[in-house]
Amino acid sequence: MSTSNEALRTWIEEVAQLTKPETIHWCDGTDEEYDQLIQQMLGSGDLLPLNEDTYPNCYLHRSDPTDVARVEHLTFVCTQQQAAAGPNNNWMAPQAAHAKMDELFAGAMEGRTLYVIPYCMGPIDSPYARCGVELTDSPYVAANMKLMTRMGKAALARIEREGKFVRGLHSTGDLNPDRRFVMHFPEELLIQSFGSGYGGNALLGKKCHALRIASYQAQQEGWLAEHMLIVEVENPQGEKHYLAAAFPSACGKTNLAMLIPPQSHAGWKVRTIGDDIAWLHLDDEGQLRAINPESGYFGVVPGTNQKTNRNAYDMIQRDAIFTNVAVTKNNEPWWEDKKEGQPDIDWKGRSATDANGPAAHPNSRFTVAATQNPCYSELAEDPAGVPISAIIFGGRRRELAPLVYEARDWAHGVLIGASVASETTAAATGQVGVTRRDPMAMKPFCGYNFADYWNHWLSFSDRAGRLPRVFHVNWFRQNQDGDFLWPGFGENLRVLRWIIDRCEDRVDARSTPIGYLPQPADIDTDGLDLDGETLESLLSVDRDAWQAEMAEVEAYFGEFEDRVPAELKAQRDKVVAALADGRG
């Protein structure tokens, strides 16, 4: 294979000259090619077979123990002006970054195969989709890209038609953490990643392209690239709503996107459009529409069981790649809270009985094609996307944030999104469980200055006909003993119902300084083991704690100095004033 696109041809030649691969393989995206990649990795030991009877076509990949999560401290946005990247990104001057990366990539693919992976993010015929090409020496990346994106011939044809594409260069390198970098050059639509074979560091279509580079493109072109799931909720009368929700990594986006209605909710249907990323565009009528740029899921495995997420549990019984899980004596994949079997060998390949700590890595992952999801929505392939009724922000907060509340209007919603904070998880290297600001759950993923990004969000109120309503949820509120107050999982549908009822103007709400909260009676708790007092505390607003929160938000905004939009500050001041005088 080759290409009629000269820019692509020249780039591949340049990369080949620099990295010196033994051969070049053009990925065509066929199932036969996928099978060959798997066979080859089984031969090299990159993949281990799992029980063929109980887990057909499932494989285990063990990444290097130092390479198990995204590396935010080694991730850079390299714009000409440092201010364009903003305090929310590590920055390096493009020239310096290029020099550093050229040195690392020199000869890096000697004796290896260079895979050329043309891919399309979004339905192949969607005007909202965007293409890219990843060049990598990792067959694991090639196989994962086949599951996660529309990869191969059709994508290449679109690139040749359009001429424009994002370039991504990746090499696993020697996995030395001191020689590991994920560099983004938004102005050149270029990504370069060296020294990691793991998930978001290496599958460049995902966080690097579909979020960091795409957020930059979106600002220029007038749309939004967001860290959001997209879910379809259908009530027993057949009324459908599409919701987009942003939570930080490993806070349950995949679970919410695949929610199974509890028994108390017969007749309700929930279907998944996407579980991690949404691209949002205004259509000609001013309606915000969402596509999922991905075609597969790279989900957290631990905690997945028949009760917490039966859809996910079922869809990873076949045709899945597992990364860093443990295995049982029977050679089945095992993870904490699987509620089935016992670990024999841990994620590092050691006897699980000798290991202290979890047998599966807390950030171990599955990769599967989205079509394997029992509640997959065909609309994930609709070139026009789905109309969004509500945008939901959320974080992991032990205290403070109520179960659910609604913004007064779009601009207030932007404040709510910009103030999102969450306790950190194992999805990124670093300390777990510390609270950090994570605006729109985009802290690790916004490819430009957050202040400009908030401004871009605010600009939608001038352009859209009917904007979605904005909400905030918190499934993670705890009491003093550390017990969760809300049951979560399928029961979260009860909260989505309130959100939908608000969108349809079917329920009123309590006006509070932080926004609209449900009247307790409007959250259906029938059949839940949840007393009135607990519900009250789930829906309470502690004014002192919120004053402190707003002071923190002000200090956080201060990091962005005078670039912070005046409208955003005005929204914050309004909340502070309302808290102070007790107004609603």
Q: How far is the CB of 317 from ligand SAT (least distance, A)?
A: 22
Q: Within 151-180, which residues bind ligand SAT (CB under 6 A)?
A: none
Q: How far apart are CA 109 and CA 403, in angstroms?
A: 51
- By CB under 6 A, the residues from 204 to 233 that bind ligand SAT are 206-207
CA distance 396 to 473: 9
The span from the CA of 355 to the CA of 211, in Å, is 36
- 502 neighbors 509 (Cβ within 8 angstroms): yes
The region of 199-207, 352-360, 382-390, 395-403 touching ligand SAT under the rule CB under 6 A is: 199-207
Q: Specify the DSSP element, H or E, that contains 170.
A: strand 166-171
The answer to whether residues 219 and 362 touch, using CB atoms and an 8 Å cutoff, is no
Minimum Å gap between C-beta 250 and ligand SAT is: 7
Looking at beta carbons only, is 241 or 443 nearer to ligand SAT? 443
Query: Does residue 70 interact with ligand SAT by CB under 6 A?
Result: yes
Pick one of 325, 427, 473, 541: the residue that binds ligand SAT (CB under 6 A): 427
- Work out how close the CB of 425 gets to ligand SAT at its nearest, in angstroms, rounded to a whole number: 8
Residue 206 contacts which entry, ligand SAT, Mn ion, none (Cβ below 5-8 A, type-dependent): ligand SAT
> What gap in Å lies between CA 424 and CA 429, rounded to an integer?
10
Binding mask 270-309 for ligand SAT (x = CB under 6 A): ----------------------------x-----------
The secondary structure of residue 570, as a DSSP letter, is H
Name the residue whose CB lies closest to ligand SAT.
200
| 315-to-80, 169, 209, 311 alpha-carbon distances in Å | 44, 31, 26, 6
**CB proximity list for 309: less than 8 A, separation 6 or greater:** 254, 255, 258, 260, 489
Q: Which of 276, 319, 381, 452 forms a contact with Mn ion (CB under 5 A)?
A: 276
Check residue 351 and report its DSSP letter: B
* Shortest distance (Å) from residue 18 CB to ligand SAT: 26
133-141, 200-208, 260-268, 345-353 -> range binding ligand SAT (CB under 6 A): 200-208
Region of 377 please: left (phi>0), alpha (psi -120 to 50) or beta.
beta
DSSP state letter for 206: I
Mapping DSSP to helix (H, G, I), strand (E, B) and coil, where does residue 4 land?
coil
CA pair distance 209, 206, nearest whole angstrom: 6
Nearer to ligand SAT, 418 or 441 (CB): 441
Least gap, CB of 520 to ligand SAT (angstroms): 34
Q: Is 134 in the site for Mn ion (CB under 5 A)?
A: no
Q: Which stretch binds ligand SAT (CB under 6 A): 76-84, 180-188, 198-206, 531-539?
A: 198-206
Choose between 418 and 428: whose C-beta lies nearer to ligand SAT.
Answer: 428
Write the DSSP string, 412-451.
HHHHHHHT-EEE--TTBSS-SS-EEE-GGG-TTT--S-HH
| Cβ proximity to Mn ion, 199 vs 343, nearer residue | 199
What 3 state SS string does 286-311 have?
CEEEEECCCCEEEEECCCCCCCCCHH
Residue 535 contact, options ligand SAT, Mn ion, none, Cβ 5-8 Å cut-off depending on partner type: none
Q: Is 194 left (phi over 0), alpha (psi -120 to 50) or beta?
A: beta
Task: Looking at 72-206, list the stretches that DSSP marks H as alpha helix, in order from N- to C-terminal side.
Answer: 82-85, 94-105, 139-148, 153-162, 199-202
556 closest CA partner among 454, 457, 473: 454
Task: Please identify, using beta-carbon distances, which residue of 253 and 572 lies nearer to Mn ion.
Answer: 253
Phi, psi (5° rounding) for residue 268?
-85, 145
Using CB under 5 A, which of the segments 50-58, 117-125, 269-277, 490-498 binds Mn ion?
269-277
Q: CB 142 → ligand SAT: shortest distance, Å?
A: 16
27: annotated active-site residue: no
Q: Give 15 or 228: the residue with its C-beta nearer to ligand SAT.
A: 228
Q: Closer to Mn ion by CB, 74 or 359: give it.
A: 74
If one asks whether residue 443 binds ligand SAT (CB under 6 A), the answer comes out as no
Nearest distance in Å: CB 248, ligand SAT: 8
Select the binding partner of residue 70 from Mn ion, ligand SAT, none (C-beta < 5 to 8 A, by kind). Answer: ligand SAT
Which listed residue (78, 131, 208, 251) is catalytic? 251
Positions 212 through 251 that interact with Mn ion (CB under 5 A)? 249
Single residue of 172, 192, 217, 249 touching ligand SAT by CB under 6 A:
249
Q: Given the rule CB under 5 A, which residues bind Mn ion? A: 249, 276
| Residues labelled as active-site residues | 251
Residues that bind ligand SAT (CB under 6 A): 70, 199-200, 206-207, 249, 298, 427
